[in-house]
Amino acid sequence: MPLRQAILRVPEQNWEAYGEAHVKEIRECAEVDFVPGEKSEHKDTEPLRYVAIRIRQRQEELFADGSKVKHFAIVSNRWELKPGQLIQWHREKAGTIEGVHDVVKNELAGGVMPSKYFGANAAWLRLVVIAHNVLTALKRLALPAELLQARPKRLRFLIFNTAGRLVQHARKTVLRLAALGVRIATWRDGMRLLPVGT
């Protein structure tokens, strides 16, 4: 594999320790000079950055698979971080995408394709992802901090499925909501925070 060969060619002095010291392992990272030879590459694309991770046993023991050294690589388009910082940033976001997949698949019906046609299913999945992005923007822009981690089911229960009744009285139409005044005030404040379309 070309990337593995490029990692093995990294000079010893380029490897530096990263993260907290580990009892049994030595963890090091280094920049790798590597350009993939993919046919699908476009001439105007920005070059990607390859950071190698090398893990060795402190006592020269072998790993379970019989190897002395394990190599991994991170591919990124972020160039402003040092290699150790890039690894830390990459690991901090680990696990977040699984939560997004769970919400898209199980709470926004992205896991059930409505048609036997690929194009219709692709359109459906795009609508589901748009709905997820709109809900995320709503939580970050307009809703209170306690709802920042709220899932669609909770938002449906607290906001979208609120019962109400239209009442006509004295030539006015009034919407009476079955919600606490505090909750209605929160919604009103949130509406003010949303950007108004032109």
Within the chain, strands assigned E span 16-17, 25-32, 49-57, 69-76, 164-169, 172-177
Of 57, 5, 50, 4, give the one whose Cα is nearest residue 27: 57
Q: With 0.85 as the threshold, say if the pTM is over it.
A: no
Least confident of 27-41, 67-81, 134-148: 27-41
Render pLDDT for 90-111 as a digit per residue (tens, 0 to 9).
Answer: 877 666 777 888 899 999 989 8
Burial 89-100 (b: 16+ CB within 10 A, else e): eeeeeeeeeeee
Of 195, 111, 103, give the one whose Cα is nearest residue 154: 103
